[in-house]
Structure 1
Amino acid sequence: MTERLPIFPLNAVLYPGLVLPLHVFEERYRRLVADLVALPEEEPRRFGVLAIKDGREVAPVTEGEGPAGPLDGLGTITGDPLEAMHHIGCVADVASVSPQADGRYELLVTGTTRFRLRSVETGGPYLVGEVETIEEQPGEGAGALAGGVERAFRAYQKRLAGARQASLSGEQELPDDPQVLSYLVAAASVLEVPVKQRLLACPDTASRLSIELELLRRETAVLAWLPSVPAVDLTRQAFSPN
């Protein structure tokens, strides 16, 4: 199934079932949010989140204008936005909108379904894409892999807490569903955006869990050799400016 969605490029990856807070301050995305808020109450307020390649911002350029200028130090995109963004993203449902006095917005969004970007329109105030829904597939052996990932994730959390010189407040409840677990682990692990994007783009749950098992074991082994790592290096969660 294909549909048209406003596109919100980020230096972050959104996963189905996960929540992401957004601070919206760029004019074009303030316009996007304003258009969503203006929709009739019965219509869904949602947009597509796509991760930006190489830490670059994407700005639509209308006909007759020059290339977009630098935005928040994130770089300049002078060519096709399709080359600047990853093509597999996640639909974001707006859970809450808090308008600020200066025209900015504080959003809380929830990831719902993955999509593949087929084309993008750049003539308006913000990007609009034609997207195709990606159906979730369990893959072979997802159930067995989930148990290994759960154990590896708990070991990783303990090592990470030790490196941060923090303590875990009780054992975190993890979901039984392999698909939900795979996305939770992907979101909660301290990984670079390209790695998180790779996990989002996996063809099925089993493939994602298999990669996560390898990543968690590797990261846990690295943390074992780094008993005291500067917090700034370990707590770099994906920040989501617009």
Structure 2
Amino acid sequence: MARAIPLFPLGSVVLPGQTLSLHVFEDRYRDLVDYLLTLPAPERRFGIVSIREGYEVGESGVQSIHRVGVEVAITDVTGYDDGRYDLTVDAIGRIRLDAGVTGESFMWGHVEDLDEPVGKDVMMAADRAHAVFDAYRTELNRFRLDATVDELPGDPVDLSYLLASSAVLTLPDRQELLEADDAAERLRYYHHLMLSEISAMRAVPSLPAVDVARTSWSPN
């Protein structure tokens, strides 16, 4: 059943299990946080959807958004005298946007929670994803980088999201991983993407230092 939650369009794709820091300074998003802080702590949740066209800030703003995103829960908030906020949020699950509603300031959406099926031949897909992750990590080590993943989870759904969040990918690729019908499909697509990435890494003598995992990940 659809329910209404506030929406925070973002210029990146957030995956379930990730912990994200947000600096909130624009009026409409400050209004969103002001509203959420009137609610009991367990109810301080909103949806993050990636922007298809437009920008997070500025006069032109958001033109269109993707329909599949995540619901996040505020775990920490710091307010400043000028009205800005720093938030820490945990992505707790996928949502699908059925309809967007523009409020007085920030956007609301009618959303449905998405299930997390494992899919067909998921263990085979998980084994192949494990293997390509090890190969990817070997290539990163060659450039003195690391995927900053200590231990891979055994649950295939958690594994699919952790691997997806640990790789540097384009926004469309991350969105496709988020929208995958099940964990097996997500793991197979991750395997495909990493094979291409490894081939590219082996074709160049050096890579710039990058932060591979921009946000932390937790299955909780």
TM-score normalised to the size of structure 2?
0.89
Match of 2:124 in 1: 144
Closer/same/farther in 2, CA of residues 167 and 136 from structure 1, 3 Å limit: closer
Match of 1:50 in 2: 49
Closer/same/farther in 2, CA of residues 15 and 150 from structure 1, 3 Å limit: same
1:91-240 equivalent positions in 2, closer than 5 A: 91-163=71-143, 165-166=144-145, 172-231=150-209, 234-235=210-211
Match of 1:25 in 2: 25
* Contact 2:137/2:146, CA 8 A, preserved across alignment: no
Q: Over residues 125-152 of structure 1, what are the superposed CA-to-partner deviations in whole Å (9 max), with x where a residue is unaligned? A: 1000000111111100112211211121
Inter-partner Cα distance in structure 2 for 1:30 and 1:53: 22
Inter-partner Cα distance in structure 2 for 1:50 and 1:168: 25
Aligned amino acid, residue 109 of structure 2 = G
* Contact 1:152/1:216, CA 8 A, preserved across alignment: yes
Over the matched positions of the two proteins, sequence identity in percent amounts to 36
- Partner-residue secondary structure (3-state), 2:43: coil
* Contact 1:162/1:227, CA 8 A, preserved across alignment: no
Match of 1:34 in 2: 34
Inter-partner Cα distance in structure 1 for 2:186 and 2:3: 26
Aligned residues: 215
Offset at 1:204? 0.6
* Contact 1:5/1:47, CA 8 A, preserved across alignment: yes
Q: Over residues 26-56 of structure 1, what are the superposed CA-to-partner deviations in whole Å (9 max), with x where a residue is unaligned? A: 1111111111111134x411000000014x2
Unaligned runs of 5+ in 2: 216-220
* Contact 1:119/1:130, CA 8 A, preserved across alignment: yes
- Partner-residue secondary structure (3-state), 1:52: strand
* Contact 1:11/1:238, CA 8 A, preserved across alignment: no
Inter-partner Cα distance in structure 2 for 1:144 and 1:195: 22
Closer/same/farther in 2, CA of residues 167 and 126 from structure 1, 3 Å limit: closer
* Contact 2:146/2:212, CA 8 A, preserved across alignment: no
Offset at 1:100? 2.4
Inter-partner Cα distance in structure 1 for 2:22 and 2:103: 24
Unaligned runs of 5+ in 1: 60-67, 71-75
Inter-partner Cα distance in structure 1 for 2:160 and 2:146: 24
TM-score normalised to the size of structure 1?
0.81
Higher strand share: 2
